[in-house]
């Protein structure tokens, strides 16, 4: 188990290093000049050059990359080009909102997916199965930027039950969480259905039924537990996706998280802030997937044996 743990951590570190370099290069390929955005088009060339030199943007790209990685190794994300505020403090202000949204979306997905998937598996090829899969198909087909406004029109403007946007009220999380969680619930319910159907055909399930166990005991104590390994993997993958997908949802609902900060940084050409936001989302994805691999290895010894 220790060798498996070390190998996964080492792989994650290599991926994070690669992501850091890719993020740096891609950000600098974005059209637009942050100096022009900061000073305006009417600024004198001498003023532009002075500010460019003060910010270190006149240095060769590889020199900037080396400085960026050196600062990153010391957990120094730098300062915003516009507000001059430490980027770490900007992120700490926004991270709680994004984490709250991602976990709420995950909770919505789990609450919707497990009943849909279990009912579809137990009522295979019936109206229940077709209805559950139709709901999941709709959930995965409707994008967040369309689902969000639909929910706002229905529950905020039409019925007046929930706030339109912001994070000021306790109920403000409901619509963003539904928007973010329905797509994941659709994918997850289909996975639960397929894995549960596969497990229900195993010999030990027939043995459990022959012993007189109730359908409730057979499904929850035997079938569902053994069908959870691929489901856990998918949950880990989708949790990382939730953090990335939260960008669109945060814009739709004016949710003050990392996603909204990312869009603001793009509009202002604030390279350091944008790098930090994208890097945070990427690293979160890598960390979640690495933790999923470790959990999978702990639950299934065959995974550890294959790695060794």
3-state SS of 112-168 is HHHHHHHHHHHCCCCHHHHHHHHHHHHHHHCCHHHHHHHHHHHHHHHCCCCCCCCCC
Instruction: Give the pLDDT of residue 241.
Output: 67
Q: Supply the CATH classification number for the domain 100-256.
A: 1.10.3720.10
Instruction: Give the pLDDT of residue 307.
Output: 52
Instruction: Give the pLDDT of residue 156.
Output: 82
Instruction: Give the pLDDT of residue 31.
Output: 66
33 in the Ramachandran plot: left (φ > 0), alpha (ψ -120 to 50) or beta? beta
pTM over 0.85: no
For residues 270 and 248, what is the distance between their CA atoms, to the nearest angstrom?
Answer: 19
Instruction: Give the pLDDT of residue 281.
Output: 80
Instruction: Give the pLDDT of residue 163.
Output: 82
Answer for the pair 139, 183: CB distance below 8 angstroms, yes or no. Answer: yes
DSSP, residue by residue, 252-299:
HTT--SHHHHHHHHHHHT-HHHHHHHHHHHHHHHHHHHHHHHHHHHHH
Instruction: Give the pLDDT of residue 297.
Output: 63
150, 155, 158, 163 alpha-carbon torsion, rounded to 10°: -110
Q: Taking the CA atoms of 33, 39, 42 and 46 in sequence, report the sign of the dihedral they define.
A: negative
User: Alpha carbon 58 to chain centroid distance?
Assistant: 35
137, 138, 144, 145 alpha-carbon torsion, rounded to 10°: 130
Instruction: Give the pLDDT of residue 62.
Output: 81
3-state SS record for 57-102: CCCCHHHHHHHHHHHHHCCCCCECCCCCCEHHHHHHHHHHHHHHHH
Tokens of residue 215, six digits: 């359908």
Q: Taking the CA atoms of 31, 33, 38 and 42 in sequence, report the sign of the dihedral they define.
A: negative
CA distances 90 to 155, 213, 265, 287, Å, are 32, 56, 11, 21
Instruction: Give the pLDDT of residue 165.
Output: 78
75 in the Ramachandran plot: left (φ > 0), alpha (ψ -120 to 50) or beta? left
Instruction: Give the pLDDT of residue 1.
Output: 58
Total count of residues recorded for the chain: 308
Strand partners, 79: 86
For residues 303 and 230, what is the distance between their CA atoms, to the nearest angstrom?
Answer: 12
Query: Structural domain boundaries of the chain?
Result: 2-73, 100-256
Instruction: Give the pLDDT of residue 149.
Output: 84
Residue 123 φ/ψ, nearest 5 degrees: -110, 45
Instruction: Give the pLDDT of residue 194.
Output: 81
For residues 76 and 68, what is the distance between their CA atoms, to the nearest angstrom?
Answer: 9
From first to last of the 308 residues of the chain, give the pLDDT tens digit: 566 667 767 777 787 788 778 877 777 776 666 666 666 666 677 767 776 776 666 777 788 788 778 877 777 777 787 777 888 888 888 888 888 888 888 888 888 888 888 787 777 778 877 787 777 777 777 777 778 888 888 888 888 788 887 777 778 888 888 888 887 888 888 888 888 777 776 766 667 677 666 666 677 666 776 777 777 777 777 776 676 657 778 888 888 888 888 888 877 777 788 888 888 887 777 777 777 777 666 665 555 555 55
């Amino acid at each position: 188990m220790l060798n498996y743990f070390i190998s996964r951590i080492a792989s994650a570190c290599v991926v994070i290093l690669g992501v850091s370099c890719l993020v740096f290069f891609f950000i600098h390929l974005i059209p637009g000049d942050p100096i022009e955005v900061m000073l305006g088009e009417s600024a004198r060339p001498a003023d532009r050059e002075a500010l460019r030199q003060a910010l270190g943007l006149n240095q060769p790209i590889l020199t900037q990359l080396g400085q960026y990685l050196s600062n990153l190794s010391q957990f120094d994300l730098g300062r915003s080009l516009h507000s001059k505020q430490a980027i770490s403090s900007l992120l700490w202000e926004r991270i709680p909102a994004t984490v709250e949204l991602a976990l709420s979306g995950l909770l919505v997905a789990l609450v919707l997916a497990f009943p849909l998937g279990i009912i579809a598996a137990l009522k295979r090829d019936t109206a229940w199965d077709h209805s559950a899969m139709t709901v999941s198909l709709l959930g995965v087909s409707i994008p967040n930027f369309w689902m969000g406004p639909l929910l706002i029109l229905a529950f905020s403007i039409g019925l007046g039950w929930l706030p339109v946007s912001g994070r000021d009220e306790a109920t403000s999380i409901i619509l963003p969480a539904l928007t973010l969680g329905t797509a994941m619930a659709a994918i997850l319910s289909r996975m639960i259905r397929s894995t549960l159907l596969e497990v229900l055909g195993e010999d030990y399930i027939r043995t459990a039924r022959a012993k007189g166990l109730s359908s409730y005991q057979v499904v929850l104590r035997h079938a569902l537990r053994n069908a959870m390994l691929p489901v856990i993997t998918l949950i880990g993958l989708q949790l990382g996706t939730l953090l990335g997908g939260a960008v669109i949802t945060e814009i739709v609902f004016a949710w003050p998280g990392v996603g909204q900060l990312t869009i603001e940084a793009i509009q202002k050409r604030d390279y350091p802030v944008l790098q930090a936001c994208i890097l945070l989302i990427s690293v979160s994805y890598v960390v979640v997937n690495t933790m999923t691999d470790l959990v999978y290895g702990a639950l299934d010894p065959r995974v550890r044996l294959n790695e060794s």
